[in-house]
Chain A
């Protein structure tokens, strides 16, 4: 199923690290400002792409531009990059609401982008401030309308729940506001306060205090969004059901590739690639990256070999995030079968016949209840 190294990788990730400012909770590789370096960075990306091109299939299934804030990149440079990228069935760009002007929206559309993932996070001004986001609630709505006007017909909204000071009513209102915009896709993440970050330092105590009250938020999100006609197709991701979307399958093709264990190439600082049982992460240091590519060298990479057993475990841990059955043929050794029976009795997993012929072990799916505790269930399931 995996594409081989000889020119078969069908999924490309490109990292654009630049942001107007850094949000307290963010732990991605980002670079604030540096307008002067956008050009050099795009040069470097294109040099890296040229160097790695042979790994890619002639026709890609997905390209994903993540960040950072890709739409904060100088428009001319963003355009130069987009035009140089290989064509793909799905091309997604991440955007922050306040960066989405009609000019940017049109630029994206003109360059073949057919999916935009908008970092809305919340529709409460107070909570956006806690998150140190610059957008106001109306910016989010305006951004959606602007994208629609530019004929972008696949919009995903990111929401964060479990924000310090977020009441149940706040959460319900955020969901209502998001659903009212009728996005094709929703990603809902619980806020992760990483130990040692500035954010945790400021809000940690409040989060601990609220932990019990917020325990039900995940369940509320799922109940509310699925009731509005969305498919809960991955732990944190929802898309409009096909019958409400002219028959379109609106799942993110790019992210599905990760969850299905496909190979992918990542370009840019801090980007990760996984190809043929090897995973590498390019240096997160902008200076080192630019210097290497300017000198015609490959930037420094951190390499991780993935032995067969690890690859099988990953297939299980990723596959169980989806609502589709995980085929177990070939993965038997990655699973603790005693745990499967135990979890089946607890109503957390379900075994069913596999769809492929000759698959003895059938397939495994988490039940709805199992999906809410999917992390613990997976930890128990893995051999």
Chain B
């Protein structure tokens, strides 16, 4: 296909603003999918994606429209996948920026719009859901025009649900988004913007040919990773995989690599031909590193091998997922897992529980700390229990947080950010009613319950997005918890020194409530090093009997004891103390208890 007749574009939108519905209408309208095949929201294939209304894995579909080849590249819709989004955007020349006519611009809209602008994309603004009774298309159009510096009159108004205005969207893609401008005769360079793993065919790379072309079977090389392989097939999605003779400059499609390991072909890498290799890779490759860590332990220790197998399987399709065995003296054998962010963690956990039917204890999430010890050794710490005691300095990751709220809630949001060691950066009015706030915050301060707090203090109106900006030194200390004198590794925390006492206090109070009384007194202590900073005592049970037990009661009493017994089984034995699983989650919402 002549590059002049190719258009590559993405749809970017806040969650639930209608990206998937618009994609469905486009597939229908271009007869890529017939009515019979039409399944609601074809692009989101994973069960979890459909349920949560978010897209985890980007896909790319080729559609024909009035003699043009349009490639719709679906982007992940969430903050944790910013890097993946940016690669998807880099594969395009333009983007549809979709905003809900009733909701207006949200934090993710802003983040994604900026990302698109950074990638030099031409933006076609679209206000969706104009059929809703509470829709305010003019208000939404004004906000979106303001955001990207566009004339409000050029903002398209559609209803992806009814199909109204969708043809105009496709016409605008052709008219307003430029054609690709690679060199068809140069040595081949293709950007890998996503990949998936097929049990039989190995890693399938989703690529955008920038220069040159690939023919069906030829030796290829991933330039950053240095991985070499023989391409088994090239093709495109329409919407399912269709083999093609070649992929030419400007086109979007897939390469079947036969590789058995996703980590050998990372998103952002450049594929080139082994026969006539390009001199330089495409710009922008980054090795994404997990930022949020937590321990995953099977509730039933017999499930350990199953958890390991499940993580292996997930990892096949999720190069960003990191895991290594962890042995907790409190929780037994499990894995320390690294995630791009909180949503990524949630998704992995849910998939493990749902698709693999595992019952898990997840320890409080923590971030990656960079520690310099007195001996000058540098280590990255992913687990509070492994934080060295003798430290010269600790650096912690910081984020730039972008928060959009109605103006009445600016106060509570500022208050929350101050409590969380935030530094105010910038504030602007998006409209008379809505304010965009920028803050710098330590990532550690948002991994626990920041989002819940933000939602509750703004009655659900705040939208939030963040980007990790780098590492900074922090006055941090490790707080350990001792139950009956035994340190419980799974409950250790790393906190700012100023907050250590309050956190320690709140934690032991919560544990006293969560841990049932035992046959003996159980002290619960929080300590920094050998210095105890807070203590509570769980008093021994003085009585625990079933008062009456005669002929008519025996069955009921037996069942009561069986239930009591079953309750004990769900507990973890820490030394001589039975600790319920909920106690390990106590750290998660300490702030809830504090207020």
- Which positions in A face B, CB cutoff 8 Å? 13, 189-190, 192, 215-216, 218-219, 235-236, 255, 258-259, 264, 266, 270-272, 274, 279, 281, 304, 310, 313-314, 317-318, 321, 342-343, 346, 348, 371-380, 382
Taken together as a complex, chains A and B put the C-alpha atoms of A321 and B546 apart, in Å, by 10
Question: Which residues on A sit within 8 Å (CB–CB) of B554?
Answer: 258, 272, 274, 279, 314, 318
- Inter-chain contacts of A321 with B (CB < 8 A): 549
B542 and A372 form a contact (CB under 8 A): yes
Q: 1/0 per residue B556-582: CB within 8 Å of A?
A: 011011101100100000001000000
CB-based contact A373/B549 at 8 Å? no
Majority SS at the chain B contact face? loop
The distance in angstroms between the C-alpha atoms of A255 and B551, with both chains bound, is 8
* A382–B565 CB distance below 8 A: yes
Shortest CB distance B543–A (Å): 4
Q: Digit string of B506-546 for contact with A (CB within 8 Å is 1, else 0)?
A: 00000000000001100000000000000000000111111
Q: CB within 8 A of A376: which of B519, B549, B558?
A: B519
B34 near A: Cβ within 8 Å?
Answer: no
- Bound-state Cα–Cα, A189 to B547, Å: 6
The answer to whether B545 touches A375 (Cβ under 8 A) is yes
**Assembly CA distance A192 to B562 (angstroms):** 19
Min CB distance A270 to B, Å, is 7
Cα A271 to Cα B552 in complex, Å, equals 7
- Inter-chain contact A279/B555, CB cutoff 8 Å: yes
B539 CB → nearest A CB, Å: 9
Report if A236-B551 is in contact (Cβ < 8 Å); known contacts: A317-B561, A379-B565. Answer: no
Measured in the bound complex, the distance between the Cα atoms of B550 and A266 in whole Å is: 12
Q: Is the CB of A218 within 8 A of B543?
A: yes
List residues of chain B with CB within 8 A of the CB of A235.
545-547, 549
Q: Residues of A contacting B551 with CB < 8 Å?
A: 13, 258, 264, 266, 272, 274
Tell whether A379 pairs with B549 under 8 Å between CB atoms, given A314-B558, A373-B544. Answer: no
B548, CB-defined interface residue at 8 Å: yes
Query: Given the known A-B contacts A274-B554, A379-B568, A380-B568, are A374 and B549 also in contact in the complex, defined by CB atoms under 8 Å?
Result: no
User: Given A348-B519, A376-B564, A272 and B552 touching (CB < 8 A)?
Assistant: yes
Report B-chain residues with C-beta under 8 Å of the C-beta of A13. 551
A218 B542 Cβ-Cβ under 8 A: yes
Docked-complex contact B546 and A346, CB < 8 angstroms = no
* B522 → A minimal CB distance (Å): 12
Enumerate chain B residues within 8 angstroms of A271, measured Cβ to Cβ.
Answer: 552
Q: Are A192 and B544 in contact (CB under 8 A)?
A: no
**Contacting residues, chain A, for B552 (C-beta < 8 A):** 266, 270-272, 281
Give the size range of B's interface with the partner. Answer: 20 to 34
A317-B546 Cα distance, complex, nearest whole Å:
10
Bound: A250/B546 CA distance, A: 23
Q: Return chain B residues, CB-CB under 8 Å to A216.
A: 542
B519–A255 CB distance below 8 A: no
Task: Please report the C-alpha to C-alpha distance between residue A270 and residue B542 in the assembled complex, in whole angstroms.
Answer: 34
CA distance A378 to B561 in the complex (A): 8
What residues on B are CB-neighbors of A382 within 8 Å?
Answer: 561-562, 565
Given A189-B548, A380-B565, A382-B562, 18 further pairs, Cβ under 8 A:
A190-B547, A215-B542, A218-B542, A218-B543, A236-B548, A258-B550, A258-B551, A272-B554, A274-B554, A310-B558, A317-B561, A342-B576, A372-B542, A373-B542, A375-B564, A376-B564, A379-B561, A380-B568
Q: When chains A and B are docked, how far (Å) is the Cα of A378 from the Cα of B520? A: 16
- Distance between Cα atoms of A383 and B545 in the complex (Å): 19
* Residues A374 and B544 in contact in the complex (CB < 8 Å), given A314-B558, A317-B561: yes
Separation of A376 and B568 alpha carbons in the complex (Å): 10
Whether A373 contacts B545 by the Cβ 8 Å rule is yes
Which residues on the A side are within 8 Å of B555 (C-beta)?
272, 279, 304
- Chain B contacts of A380 at CB under 8 A? 565, 568
Nearest A residue to B550 via CB reads: A258
Q: For B544, what are the chain A residues with a Cβ–Cβ distance below 8 Å? A: 372-377
**Given A270-B552, A274-B554, A317-B557, are A219 and B542 neighbors across the interface (CB < 8 Å)?**
yes
Given contacts A321-B549, A380-B568, contact A313 B542 (CB under 8 A): no
10 pairs of A and B residues whose beta carbons are closest in the complex = A379-B564, A376-B544, A373-B544, A272-B552, A189-B547, A218-B543, A375-B544, A379-B565, A190-B547, A375-B545
Given contacts A279-B555, A342-B576, A348-B519, whether A219 and B543 have CB atoms under 8 Å apart is yes
15 A-B Cβ contacts within 8 A?
Answer: A192-B548, A236-B547, A259-B549, A271-B552, A279-B554, A317-B561, A343-B519, A372-B543, A372-B545, A375-B560, A376-B544, A377-B519, A379-B564, A379-B565, A382-B565
Residues of chain A within 8 A of B520, CB atoms compared: 346
CB closest chain-A residue, reference B567 = A379
Give Cα A189–Cα B45 distance, bound, in whole angstroms.
61
Which B residues are CB-close (under 8 A) to A255? 550
B561→A375 contact, CB < 8 A = yes
Within the complex, the shortest CB–CB distance from B353 to chain A, in Å, comes to 28
Residue in B545, B560, B568 whose beta carbon sits within 8 Å of that of A374 in the complex: B545
Residue from A216, A348, A373, A382 whose CB has the most chain B CB atoms within 10 Å: A373
Mark out the residues of chain B between 158 and 204 whose CB falls within 8 Å of any chain A CB in the assembled complex.
Answer: none
Q: Is the CB of B547 within 8 A of A192?
A: yes
Chain B residue at smallest Cβ distance from A371:
B545
Docked CA distance A379–B566 (Å): 9
Q: Which B462-502 residues have C-beta < 8 A from chain A?
A: none
Q: Which residues of B contact A264 (CB under 8 A)?
A: 551
Docked complex Cα distance between A190 and B547 (Å):
6
Name the residue in A218, A274, A279, A379 with the highest tally of chain B Cβ atoms < 10 Å from its Cβ: A379
When chains A and B are docked, how far (Å) is the Cα of A79 from the Cα of B353? 66
Tell me how far the C-beta of A164 lies from the nearest C-beta in chain B, rounded to whole angstroms.
16
